[in-house]
């Protein structure tokens, strides 16, 4: 069992996971159980409307929970789950019970990490249960699909350079340990990891160009702003979804306005939270969806910088983990939206620049 050293988590009941997410797939036995119990008892305002629908979410046909005003139909006014309250945790869909964990098979075993989009991740990282105490329970959960496996023959580090899987595992250990052992700002972590990555493939460590990081940050924020503008003008969805899009657009606008002043530094709590995020990102192999380690870490740095810029702190003041996480959990949802996948792919050169020139 592989977990980030010292990682902790417990649910804070913020209910962010019940809003603005793809809610599925739901196991057939869970659907049958809820139907047998009585949907009207769990969703009294439903008036016979469908609570689950068969959809194709690019992963095959499956059942997905419906949403009302942007959230799950079973979300109660107090932020709790009606299914959980009436039927117990075992009656909930597997994806609900697994969130916010990411599980991944790899050569050393199975890793369990906490997703960056969890609204309570920062708070619970201080006093939640150790992740080791959750891990077996998470592995035993029912799943509509098997646990994914990370097993490429070749891991892309930077465009044109990569290593064999076994060599990557050794390098990943070195990267994770370096982040764990040093108290740094996120960009400084990236600079140190860049040196380890390039030395692993016997390439010189060239001087960074900070201007390229600023240019890439501005370019990405500009594109995200255009996308959100288009969403609000053409199909904003329900009132809650429109409000969420406006909040995301506000974050992007604040980050762009503050960027000329420079990215604020994080205080100790913010640095500790960023360290945990980076280590979880590596151990969970979340860089794989961006086509390589450099692009994935570049996108992560962009998210951390955007969150610090949009956190609302006064110029010259450090950003706490609490202030960082409020924006970070929302921004992560934005960049992982399915509609933005083509944009992320086109942005890979800029993301690689973020990683190669951070200082």
Domain boundary among 96, 117, 139: 139
Q: Does residue 216 sit in the same domain as residue 350?
A: yes
Q: Is 267 helix (H, G, I), strand (E, B) or coil?
A: coil
DSSP per residue over 142-200, as a string? --SSPPPB---SEEEEETTEEEEHHHHHHHHHHHHHHHHH----HHHHHHHHHHHHHHH
Q: Please, where are the H alpha helices in the chain?
A: 28-37, 39-42, 82-87, 94-98, 121-127, 131-139, 165-181, 186-200, 210-234, 239-258, 268-283, 293-309, 321-335, 341-346, 348-357
> Which H or E element spans position 106?
strand 101-106
Flag whether 174 is in a domain. no
pLDDT at 20: 80
Q: Does residue 344 sit in the same domain as residue 219?
A: yes
pLDDT at 43: 95
Q: Does residue 118 sit in the same domain as residue 222?
A: no
Q: Does residue 27 sit in the same domain as residue 128?
A: yes
Q: Does residue 115 sit in the same domain as residue 222?
A: no
Dihedral (Cα; 144, 150, 155, 156), 10-degree rounding: 20
Are the beta carbons of 294 and 197 closer than 8 angstroms? yes
Residue 114, number of CB atoms within 10 A of its CB: 26
Domain boundary among 111, 139, 167: 139
In 3D, which of 346, 251, 356, 342 has the Cα closest to residue 298? 356
Q: Which two tokens stand for residue 99?
A: 């969130």
In 3D, which of 261, 274, 258 has the Cα closest to residue 324? 274
Q: Does residue 24 sit in the same domain as residue 119?
A: yes
Within the chain, how many helices (H) and strands (E) appear? 15, 10
Flag whether 345 is in a domain. yes
Could you tell me the mean pLDDT of each successive run of 10 residues in the chain, 359 residues long? 95 88 88 95 92 70 85 92 95 92 95 92 94 92 87 95 96 98 98 96 91 94 92 80 91 96 96 98 95 96 97 93 95 85 90 94
Which residue range(s) make up the domain with 33? 8-139
CA distance 164 to 160: 13
CA dihedral over 122, 128, 129, 135, signed as positive or negative: negative
Which pTM was predicted? 0.93
Are the beta carbons of 65 and 52 closer than 8 angstroms? yes
pLDDT at 56: 63
Enumerate residues 6+ apart whose C-beta is below 8 A from 226: none
pLDDT at 234: 84
Bridge partner residues of 111 (DSSP)? 2, 104
Domain boundary among 139, 155, 179: 139
pLDDT at 179: 98
Residue with tokens 């892309």: 156
Domain count, the chain: 2
């Amino acid at each position: 069992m592989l977990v980030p050293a010292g990682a902790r988590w417990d649910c804070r009941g913020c209910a962010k996971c019940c809003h603005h997410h793809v809610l599925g797939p739901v196991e057939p036995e869970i659907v049958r159980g809820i139907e047998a119990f009585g949907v009207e008892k769990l969703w009294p305002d439903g008036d016979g409307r469908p609570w689950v629908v068969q959809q194709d979410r690019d992963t095959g046909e499956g059942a997905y929970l419906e949403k009302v005003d942007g959230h799950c139909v079973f979300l109660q006014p107090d932020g709790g789950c009606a299914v959980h309250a009436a039927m117990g945790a075992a009656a909930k869909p597997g994806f609900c019970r697994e969130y916010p964990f990411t599980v991944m098979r790899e050569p050393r075993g199975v890793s369990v990490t906490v997703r960056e989009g969890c609204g309570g991740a920062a708070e619970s990282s201080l006093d939640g249960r150790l992740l080791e105490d959750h891990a077996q329970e998470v592995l035993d959960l029912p799943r509509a699909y098997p646990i994914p496996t990370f097993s490429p023959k070749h891991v892309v580090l930077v465009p044109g350079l990569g290593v064999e899987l076994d060599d990557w595992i050794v390098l990943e250990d070195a990267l994770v340990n370096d982040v764990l052992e040093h108290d740094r700002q996120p960009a400084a972590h990236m600079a140190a990891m860049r040196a380890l990555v390039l030395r692993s493939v016997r390439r010189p460590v060239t001087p960074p160009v900070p201007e390229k990081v600023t240019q890439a940050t501005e370019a990405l924020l500009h594109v995200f702003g255009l996308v959100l503008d288009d969403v609000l003008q053409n199909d904003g969805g329900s009132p809650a979804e429109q409000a969420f899009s406006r909040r995301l657009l506000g974050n992007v606008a604040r980050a762009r306005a503050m960027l000329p002043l420079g990215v604020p530094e994080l205080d100790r709590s913010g640095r500790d939270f960023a360290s945990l995020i980076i280590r979880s990102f590596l151990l969970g192999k979340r860089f794989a969806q961006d086509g390589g380690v450099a692009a994935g870490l570049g996108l992560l740095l962009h998210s951390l910088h955007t969150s610090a810029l949009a956190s609302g702190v006064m110029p010259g003041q450090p950003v706490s983990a609490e202030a960082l996480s409020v924006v970070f959990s929302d921004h992560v949802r934005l960049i992982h939206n399915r509609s933005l996948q083509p944009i992320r792919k086109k942005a890979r050169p800029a993301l690689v620049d973020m990683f190669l020139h951070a200082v």
